């Protein structure tokens, strides 16, 4: 398996236009996992690196959402944390355009429902994305697959893994007769299928969970949000300065260590 491509902290800051203070504040808030901060020795000393695809995608999402959601809420919205007891208003989904006749039919939803579970909402979200490319029987197959997977703790797996639902089609031929079969699989990104299997569509389940939580999050009033944003900006500036000082102290310590090693080597040569 190929090693995950890394990107340095300096490259992250330059590429995405963020500051040291923002990066480490998001780390403290739990928006960026501790395990993504990877220390490696380089010719200039110790440097911090990140998994490139993960850190870029995560920071882009934080930047996109931080103006409309307080940072304390983003850790729940943007990471893989999932509240299995979350309930979603039926009327809210209808107003957002998540429900139509085909989805309601496939999910066996009645007009008497006032709330839906997270599991039911996940199923609705998947079928909503599939219905433009999937046939009626494939919609039903996806629903059956999701029902069985949810019973097998799919929500908990989404918390720990990046999973996609794949809609697949395969043409079989034998004795002059051909037929096409449909399949639904749940697997990690990059799943490999045999060459005769067509990937019709894939749905990112982790991103869908995030979207469900986003769409069902009640936004705060503008005055309260503005006040909170001002406080957060001030805190960011303070923390950015603290991080800058810490970085400089670390750089000086590494330089001293390098000079000490050079002196020792010079003594040994004498």
- Lowest model confidence (mean pLDDT) among 83-97, 121-135, 187-201: 83-97
Q: What is residue 222's predicted lDDT score, i.e. its pLDDT?
A: 36
Q: What is residue 142's predicted lDDT score, i.e. its pLDDT?
A: 94
List the structure tokens of 75.
């850790």
Over range 66-79, report the average pLDDT. 71
Over range 29-46, report the average pLDDT. 82
Task: Kindly indicate the confidence band of residue 167, based on its pLDDT and cuts at 50, 70 and 90.
Answer: very high
Residues in the chain: 270
Burial (CB count within 10 angstroms: exposed 0-12, middle 13-18, buried 19+), residue 184: buried
On the question of pLDDT at 191 being above 80, the answer is: yes
- Give the start-to-end residue ranges of the domains of the chain: 6-68+222-269, 87-215
List the structure tokens of 182.
């449909």
Q: What is residue 269's predicted lDDT score, i.e. its pLDDT?
A: 67
Q: What is residue 66's predicted lDDT score, i.e. its pLDDT?
A: 78
3-state secondary structure 68-103: CCCHHHHHHHHCCCCCCCCEEEHHHHHHCCCCCHHH
Distance CA 107, CA 139 (A): 10
For residues 48 and 39, the answer to whether their CB atoms sit within 8 Å is yes
Task: Kindly indicate the confidence band of residue 240, based on its pLDDT and cuts at 50, 70 and 90.
Answer: low
Give the distance from CA 27 to its chain's centroid. Answer: 15
On average, the pLDDT of the chain sits at: 79
Distance CA 220, CA 222 (A): 7
Q: What is the CA radius of gyration of the chain?
A: 25
- State the DSSP H helix or E strand holding residue 107, giving kind and residue range, or none if neither: none
Distance CA 182, CA 99 (A): 24
Distance CA 226, CA 46 (A): 39
For residues 38 and 50, the answer to whether their CB atoms sit within 8 Å is yes
Distance CA 142, CA 20 (A): 44
Neighbour-count burial for 215-253, b at 16+ CB within 10 Å, e otherwise: ebeeeeeeeeeeeeeeeeeeebeebbeebeeeeeeeeee
On the question of pLDDT at 60 being above 50, the answer is: yes
On the question of pLDDT at 81 being above 80, the answer is: no
């Amino acid at each position: 398996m190929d090693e995950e491509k890394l990107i340095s902290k300096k490259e992250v800051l330059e590429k995405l236009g963020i500051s040291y203070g923002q990066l480490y504040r998001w780390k403290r808030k739990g928006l960026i996992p501790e395990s993504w901060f990877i220390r490696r020795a380089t010719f200039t000393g110790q440097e911090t690196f990140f998994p490139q695809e993960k850190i870029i995608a995560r920071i882009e999402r934080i930047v996109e959402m931080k103006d409309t959601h307080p940072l304390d809420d983003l850790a729940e919205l943007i990471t893989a944390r999932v509240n299995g007891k979350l309930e979603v208003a039926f009327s809210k989904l209808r107003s957002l355009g998540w429900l139509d006749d085909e989805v309601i039919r496939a999910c066996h939803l009645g007009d008497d429902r006032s709330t839906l579970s997270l599991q039911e909402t996940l199923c609705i979200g998947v079928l909503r994305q599939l219905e433009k490319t999937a046939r009626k029987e494939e919609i039903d197959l996806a629903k059956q697959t999701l029902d069985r997977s949810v019973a097998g703790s799919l929500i908990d797996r989404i918390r720990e893994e990046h999973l996609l639902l794949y809609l697949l089609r395969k043409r079989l031929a034998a004795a002059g007769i051909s037929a096409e079969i449909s399949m639904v699989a749940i697997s990690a990104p990059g799943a490999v299928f045999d060459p005769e299997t067509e990937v019709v569509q894939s749905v990112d389940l982790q991103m869908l969970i995030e979207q469900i939580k986003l769409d069902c999050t009640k936004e705060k009033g503008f005055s309260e949000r503005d006040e909170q944003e001002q406080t957060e900006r001030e805190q960011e500036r303070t923390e950015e300065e603290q991080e800058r000082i810490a970085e400089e102290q670390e750089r000086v310590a590494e330089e001293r260590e390098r000079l000490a090693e050079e002196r020792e080597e010079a003594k040994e040569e004498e």
